[in-house]
Amino acid sequence: MYHYTEHDKAFVQARVDEFSDQVARYEQGKLDEDEFKQLRLRNGLYYQRHAYMLRVAIPYGVLSADQLHQLGHIADTYDKGYGHFTTRQNIQYNWPELQDVPKILQDLADVDMHAIQTSGNCIRNTTTDPLAGAVADEIEDPRPWCELIRQWSTLHPEFNWLPRKFKIAVTGSKNDRAAVQVHDIGLRLVKNENDETGFEVLVGGGLGRTPHIGSVINSFLPSADLLTYLNAILRVYNQYGRRDNLYKARIKILVNAMGIGAFKDAVETEWANSKHEDDSFTTEQIDALKAQFPSAPAIDDVAITEPREIHSNPLFNQWYQSNTREHRDPGRRIVFVSLKSADAPAGDATGAQMQAVAKIAAQYSESEIRTTHEQNLVLPHVKISQLYELWRALGKQKLATANIGKLSDMIVCPGLDFCSLANAGTHTIYDQINTRFDDIDYQHELGDISIKISGCMNACGHHHVGDIGILGVEKGGVEWYQLTLGGHAGNKAAIGKRLGKAIPKEGVADAIEKILATFIEYRSEEENFNTTFERIGVEPFKEHVYAIAA
Amino acid sequence: MPLLRNNEIIENDPWTFFDDEQELHSDWDYAIVTAARFLQLASDGEQLPDGVRVAPDDDVHLLKPYISQLKLICISFPVYTDGRGYSHARLVRQRFGYKGELRAVGDIREDHISFMQRSGINAFDCISMPDLTLLKQLITRFEHTYQPSYPLSKLG
């Protein structure tokens, strides 16, 4: 993984010092409330319902064991002993004191981390495939490109005050695990007919109040032009994106209003000039970044293709089937660490769990951990011969729930309990579903299915792209839930279709039970929910859920 | 409003801004007008003032033909959170090759001056008297940045 240079270290240290001074000036009354808010947001510090909330950047979801250990230390030292992994592969702490935040930023800087641009109307943390560099289906490892974008976008002087936040996702694989079609800019590494590497560039995707699937603005951008092209898109957006209405300020609204053809013309016109003026990079620079992401050492013993314990231990086998994936080295597996147990909110981990996973990663996964936008962790490089030991070690930390991709592997935003934007609670729905469907064998029978829960239309829980999307709404002081079906975030990205009128809080698990019963009734063998839904549409589900009891 | 240029407070700034309702004096030397008025005067074939003020929603490209004759270009930031002026400044300096004074006017505060300088602005009409010690610290804090074509100011 990427190791900070002396420049990077000095830069992050300067940022810590700058923010420490800004906090001091704020406390002395030399910075007004509103300006301090803008400055702290660009260091990831929100003020939420009860307290400050600090969002720490995990660039493209890659962590070293030392970094995860430190995140656990921060949870234990400055927070209530836990942290929350987000749908943007970052981590949030919900209870820091303002005077501790400079200390937290210092602890982060000590392990080459920061909270820069994790909020505010600027370029946010670039996200990617959590399995990057470990899967066989990759055209190229996206992480060096993500690091290039990270550096270019960090405290970019021209783009720190955009109309609205701006999110970039990159995939290096044909199987999109980074949801590039629902980002402000999505980048897909592709090869052209001459076997040269470039990017397919999508623009104007996004969830939120008005979900859009991104449009292709350039089907093959030579990789050498990446930064100048991004710069041109950002400049057009910065100049022409709407600023009169918060809810119409994302780039998707601009692209939609202009039409992709006119937007592309504007970008290409700008780029014709700007490509010779703006920051680019040399082959040596990108090669040096690529050299920082070597493959995991090859396993010599290729005779072991699966752990023998799967034949003797059904629980281990169940976990192996659902929580591990094929690695490009046949001697290794990719392991998902589920943060979706019934004991804690989705995506939460205690400081002790973080430090335990750090230790496990050091021992079993080349000291590397990934975070996923589904709010789980990944140990990307585990030797097949060590899987059983690893499973036992994870089990001791309650981190071996065999539910990856299954019904209880829900994406859940913080909701009314923690977020000042939310209209409705999400944790209670998560609990309700967990309680109703606590039979893991039943979940495995259902196959892969995604439930995504947002507490308001800002859609941080990605409900639009869940097989079952649940959106909390408030009517007359009461929490209701709007269900959508058939959404998808991968290659066949689709926005879910509305099931019908909103459902009262206590009825959500009932409605889901009926949806699942309909699925089981209609599914052909081997079909997962998504395929059945595509075949039969929303009507049979609607009829069953809203049928008046005879 | 205190004017800061090249990290010094400038007393007795000779320039005057005329809004679109105000009649222009016969003394053309230090008049600033809006970009809209400037372009109207140009298309009417009238004599042109030496100073122009660019608002966030102006199309700065339209000023390109007049860049070499302008002595002052003001970039307006009605609120500091509106970042359009950074792109305007970048284009005026980098693309159009403007060499004269590029002045930020409006809601100008210390913590934002460094990014403005890196975008090409070299004078600042601040909302209140800037703390020069603080400003120097803010401008010189980062010795290395990630955007070499937006150089750190040498003025700090």
Residue B153 lies in a domain: no
Question: Do A482 and A536 fall within a single domain?
Answer: yes
Within 10 A of B144 (CB to CB), how many other CB atoms are there? 14
Residue A403 lies in a domain: no
CB A13 within 8 A of CB A21: no
Can you name the residues that pair with A475 across neighbouring β-strands?
A478
Q: Please tell me the predicted confidence (pLDDT) of residue B26.
A: 66
Q: How far does the CA of residue A28 sit from the closest CA of chain B (Å)? A: 14
**Model pLDDT for residues A215-249, shown as the tens digit of each residue:** 999 999 999 999 999 999 999 999 999 999 999 99
Residue B82 lies in a domain: yes
B87 and A158 within 8 Å at the Cβ level: the answer is yes
Q: Which residue of A lies nearest to B80 if distances are taken between CA atoms?
A: A161
Residue A179, both tokens: 């949801």
| Nearest to B138, CA basis, from A130, A18, A361, A294 | A18
CATH number at residue B102: 3.20.20.70
Mean pLDDT for A103-122 is: 97
Lowest average pLDDT, out of A171-180, A310-319, A414-423, A453-462, goes to A414-423
Residue A63, both tokens: 């962590």
CATH number at residue A350: 3.90.480.20
A238 and B81 within 8 Å at the Cβ level: the answer is no
Angle among Cα A122, A125, A127 to the nearest 5 degrees reads 135
Residue B83 lies in a domain: yes
Can you name the residues that pair with B124 across neighbouring β-strands?
B4, B104
- Neighbour order of strands in the sheet with A82-85: A45-47, A52-56, A91-93, A82-85, A348-350
Residue A521 lies in a domain: yes
CB A475 within 8 A of CB A502: yes
Q: Which helix (H) or strand (E) holds A396?
A: helix A387-396
Q: How far does the CA of residue B71 sit from the closest CA of chain A (Å)? A: 24
Mean pLDDT for A375-388 is: 97
Question: Do A254 and A326 fall within a single domain?
Answer: no
B146 and A273 within 8 Å at the Cβ level: the answer is no
Q: Please tell me the predicted confidence (pLDDT) of residue A499.
A: 95
Q: Which residue of B lies nearest to A9 if distances are taken between CA atoms?
A: B144
**Model pLDDT for residues A306-322, shown as the tens digit of each residue:** 999 999 999 999 999 99
**Chain B positions in Cβ-Cβ contact with residue A22 (cut-off 8 Å):** 111
**Model pLDDT for residues B64-77, shown as the tens digit of each residue:** 999 999 999 999 99
Question: Do A285 and A352 fall within a single domain?
Answer: no
B146 and A154 within 8 Å at the Cβ level: the answer is yes
Residue A514, both tokens: 């009926």
Q: Please tell me the predicted confidence (pLDDT) of residue B65.
A: 97
Residue A129 lies in a domain: no
Q: Which residue of A lies nearest to B113 if distances are taken between CA atoms?
A: A157
Residue A40, both tokens: 């702290």
Residue A453 lies in a domain: yes
Close Cβ partners of A58 (under 8 Å, ≥ 6 residues apart): A89, A90, A91, A113, A125, A371
**Model pLDDT for residues A81-101, shown as the tens digit of each residue:** 999 999 989 999 999 999 999
Structure confidence at residue A3 as a pLDDT band (50, 70, 90):
very high
CB A52 within 8 A of CB A96: yes
Q: Would you say residue A125 has pLDDT above 50? A: yes
Q: Which helix (H) or strand (E) holds A540?
A: helix A539-546
Close Cβ partners of B52 (under 8 Å, ≥ 6 residues apart): B32, B33, B34, B35, B38, B63, B66, B70, B72, B73, B74
Question: Do A196 and A100 fall within a single domain?
Answer: no
**Does B104 or A207 have the greater pLDDT score?**
B104
Residue owning tokens 């950047």? A57
Question: Do A155 and A263 fall within a single domain?
Answer: yes
Q: Which helix (H) or strand (E) holds A200?
A: strand A197-203
Give the closest of B83, B90, B145 to A160, CB-based: B83
Per-residue CA distances from A301 to A309, B111, B125 (Å):
17, 58, 70
Q: Please tell me the predicted confidence (pLDDT) of residue A108.
A: 98
Q: Would you say residue A549 has pLDDT above 70? A: no
Question: Do A381 and A438 fall within a single domain?
Answer: no
Close Cβ partners of A415 (under 8 Å, ≥ 6 residues apart): A422, A424, A425, A426, A427, A453, A455, A472
**Model pLDDT for residues A331-357, shown as the tens digit of each residue:** 999 999 999 998 899 999 999 999 999
Residue A451 lies in a domain: yes
| Nearest to A101, CA basis, from A162, A173, A149, A44 | A44
Structure confidence at residue B156 as a pLDDT band (50, 70, 90):
very low
Residue A80 lies in a domain: yes
Question: Do A421 and A505 fall within a single domain?
Answer: yes
Where is the domain boundary, A258, A290, A322?
A290
Q: How far does the CA of residue B89 sit from the closest CA of chain A (Å)? A: 9
**Does A505 or A489 have the greater pLDDT score?**
A505
Close Cβ partners of A349 (under 8 Å, ≥ 6 residues apart): A72, A75, A82, A83, A85, A339, A357, A377
Can you name the residues that pair with A343 across neighbouring β-strands?
none
The total of structural domains in chain A comes to 4
Residue B24 lies in a domain: no
Question: Do A238 and A286 fall within a single domain?
Answer: yes
**pLDDT > 90: percent of chain A:** 90
Whole-number mean pLDDT of chain A? 95
Mean pLDDT for A250-260 is: 97
Q: How far apart are CA B124 and CA B105, in angstroms?
A: 6
- Domain of residue A382 covers 308-396
Taken in order B79, B82, B88, B89, the sign of the CA dihedral is positive
A160 and B119 within 8 Å at the Cβ level: the answer is no
| Nearest to A184, CA basis, from A174, A169, A200 | A169
Q: Would you say residue A505 has pLDDT above 90? A: yes
Q: Would you say residue A105 has pLDDT above 50? A: yes
Which region, left, alpha or beta, applies to residue A206 given φ > 0 means left and ψ of -120 to 50 means alpha? Answer: left
| Nearest to A121, CA basis, from A59, A39, A50 | A39
CA R_g for chain B: 16
B137 and A21 within 8 Å at the Cβ level: the answer is yes
Residue A62, both tokens: 């890659």
Residue A1 lies in a domain: no
Question: Do A281 and A314 fall within a single domain?
Answer: no
Question: Do A39 and A172 fall within a single domain?
Answer: no
Can you name the residues that pair with A70 across neighbouring β-strands?
none
Q: Would you say residue A547 has pLDDT above 90? A: no
Contacts with B, A 259-318, CB within 8 Å: 273-274, 277-279
Dihedral angle at the C-alpha atoms of A502, A50, A105, A17, nearest 10 degrees?
120
Mean pLDDT for A325-331 is: 95
Mean pLDDT for A128-149 is: 97
Q: Please tell me the predicted confidence (pLDDT) of residue A140.
A: 96
Number of helical (H) and strand (E) elements in chain B, helices listed first: 4, 8
Question: Do A380 and A450 fall within a single domain?
Answer: no
Mean pLDDT for B32-42 is: 96
Best to test chain B binding among A238, A270, A273 (most B CBs inside 10 Å): A238
Q: For A257-296, b where at least 16 C-beta lie within 10 A, e where not — what string?
A: ebebeebbebbeebbeebeeebbbbeeeebeebbeebeeb
Q: How far apart are CA A461 and CA A209, in angstroms?
A: 12
Q: Would you say residue A408 has pLDDT above 50? A: yes
Q: Would you say residue A440 has pLDDT above 60? A: yes
Q: Please tell me the predicted confidence (pLDDT) of residue B27.
A: 67
Per-residue CA distances from A11 to A99, A112, A115, A294 (Å):
22, 10, 13, 25
Residue B155 lies in a domain: no
**Chain A positions in Cβ-Cβ contact with residue B145 (cut-off 8 Å):** 11, 155
Residue A302 lies in a domain: no
Q: Please tell me the predicted confidence (pLDDT) of residue A450.
A: 96
Q: Helix axis angle, A260-274 relative to A251-258, nearest 10°? A: 110
**pLDDT > 70: percent of chain A:** 99
**Model pLDDT for residues A152-168, shown as the tens digit of each residue:** 999 999 999 999 999 99
Where is the domain boundary, A259, A290, A321?
A290
The total of structural domains in chain B comes to 1
Mean pLDDT for A255-277 is: 97
**Residues, chain B:** 156
Residue B22 lies in a domain: no
Question: Do A233 and A275 fall within a single domain?
Answer: yes
Within 13 Å of residue A472, how many CA atoms lie on the same side as its CB? Answer: 30
Where is the domain boundary, A396, A429, A462?
A396
- Domain of residue B81 covers 3-10+30-140
**Chain A positions in Cβ-Cβ contact with residue B141 (cut-off 8 Å):** 14, 17-18
Q: Which residue of B lies nearest to A147 if distances are taken between CA atoms?
A: B146
Q: Please tell me the predicted confidence (pLDDT) of residue A550.
A: 46
Structure confidence at residue A304 as a pLDDT band (50, 70, 90):
confident
Residue B17 lies in a domain: no
Per-residue CA distances from B6 to A232, A532, B135, B154 (Å):
29, 67, 12, 9
